[in-house]
Amino acid sequence: MALQFSTNKIVLAASSFVLAGLLAIAFTGGCKSGSAAYPDRLTFFLTGDSRGYLEPCGCRRDQAGGLPGRATLMRAAPAANRVILDAGNLTPGGRPYEQMKTHYLMDGMSKIGYDAVNLGKTEAGLDLNTLRQMIAQSHLPFVSANVVAKRDGAPIVETSRIVTRGRLRIGVTGVTALDPIDCGPGVDVKPPLEALSSVINTLKGSSDYIVVLAFVDESTQRQIAAHFPEVNCILGGDVPQSSNTTQDANRAFLFNVTDRGKIMGEIDLKRKGNGYYAESSRGIKIMGDQVAKDTAMLALIARYKDELRDRRYELASAEGMERISGAASTADEFVGGTACISCHHDAHKVYEASGHAHAYTTLVKKNSQYDPECLSCHTVGYGLYSGFVDAQRTPQFENIQCESCHGRGKEHINTMQAAAATGSKVHKPSTLRPVTPATCIRCHDQENSENFHYATFWPKIAH
């Protein structure tokens, strides 16, 4: 189907012939059906740097991003005129939990109907087998000119692909950049310019418009534009901030998106003579509570949560929960806040009235109580030795409690009980962890608690 416009029907070796070709179509009136013409308008949608981000967590208001909003916004544009592209960095990493998220993200993206997806830095950071498995599992049209197998320098995915819209053939390739030391075992990333030269040479002959998905910094993007005047557009992600609008670079334009896919690029192209120019563009912040949620994506996220529940012990073990794998107990462990009440009654009363005391309930309401990421901030010690596992095995560690801030309490209690029994004073240094504003910021970070200030938050729970 995709190759219904076989390349030998329109042989346009040099760009100057494109004009002649378009005029012929325009004036002969021979092409009644819209699909056989060069489209007058196109919309490029660009996402990137998603790093497994499926939906906003809900920790604060005004959060952006996620598949349900992304799908709704993209589907608003007519399919015949939209081209959906991703600059890469889909995966947060190679841990089983991270791979699971990547799997669902890719599933959602293939349902949305991406036209090309680049391999970014995080993909190149995976080991070759994991990367190959991830690609094989997905139905996404990956491209990369420079992420290769280390052993023989062979490409891991297609180096380019042709996306057709009507008669228009859009050649898409992709690059990233990564130090050899950061590449996953068995993976190598060739220098972007070197890798692009042969690919672009081929695309020149087989496409009318050339897009480079470039998960590289802006100076490398500008080098690509300077070296390859045939390139029409460079869409990237390895930048500090997403673009609001396109920027010109040599004969191409640049547009970048970053920060977990919260902002999506929308670039409207208009045909003019023998080419297309960016008529308007914007970075759309996908506001979780303002954009209608696509039901297919919501169903996918529900399945993701079911799988988290079904695989919770396996995941907890992989997240570093030693007790699951049967390790013996040690001197210092989490004991749970009720063990502190008898000696610190007042502190406990303050705690019970605080938001911390229902942090786990908050997750249950969102059906996220099996999500390792959420649990690490909404329980006592998920992911740490002797911490929360799940409500069945460790109900005493639900919510944020004394030990979430003060550290494991078993040894402290033993010491204090022994001291009380002998009537002696405690002289040795505290076995508890010192609590500083940095302790709070581990959870109250920019992403999850934008308005956190120690001076205003501490008084609410002072004890």
Q: Which residues bind ligand HEC (CB under 6 A)?
A: 57-60, 335, 337, 339-340, 342-344, 347-348, 351, 355-356, 358-359, 362-363, 366, 368, 371, 373-374, 376-378, 400-406, 409, 412-413, 416-417, 420, 426, 430, 432, 435, 439-440, 442-445, 448-449, 451-452, 457-458, 460-461, 463
The least CB distance from residue 66 to ligand HEC, in Å, is 11
Q: Is the dihedral of CA 106, 109, 114, 119 positive or negative?
A: negative
Nearest-angstrom CA–CA distance, 171 and 400: 52
The least CB distance from residue 111 to ligand HEC, in Å, is 21
Nearest-angstrom CA–CA distance, 416 and 385: 23
Nearest-angstrom CA–CA distance, 22 and 15: 11
The least CB distance from residue 425 to ligand HEC, in Å, is 8
Q: Which is nearer to ligand HEC, 110 or 354 (CB)?
A: 354
Nearest-angstrom CA–CA distance, 65 and 259: 9
Q: Which is nearer to ligand HEC, 72 or 367 (CB)?
A: 367
The least CB distance from residue 106 to ligand HEC, in Å, is 19
Q: Which is nearer to ligand HEC, 37 or 335 (CB)?
A: 335
Residue nearest to ligand HEC (CB): 409
Please say whether the beta carbons of 35 and 252 come within 8 A.
no
The least CB distance from residue 63 to ligand HEC, in Å, is 10
What the block records as the tokens of 37 is 């013409």
Please say whether the beta carbons of 141 and 170 come within 8 A.
no
How many Å from the N-terminal Cα to the C-terminal Cα in the chain?
Answer: 68
What the block records as the tokens of 42 is 């196109």
Nearest-angstrom CA–CA distance, 340 and 129: 48
Nearest-angstrom CA–CA distance, 322 and 308: 19
What the block records as the tokens of 77 is 């544009």
The least CB distance from residue 96 to ligand HEC, in Å, is 17
Q: Which is nearer to ligand HEC, 10 or 391 (CB)?
A: 391
What the block records as the tokens of 134 is 């991830």
Q: Which is nearer to ligand HEC, 206 or 342 (CB)?
A: 342
Residue-wise burial string across 374-388, b where 16 or more C-beta atoms lie within 10 A, e elsewhere: bbbbbbbbbbbbbbb
Q: Which is nearer to ligand HEC, 121 or 378 (CB)?
A: 378
Q: Which is nearer to ligand HEC, 135 or 416 (CB)?
A: 416
The least CB distance from residue 447 to ligand HEC, in Å, is 7
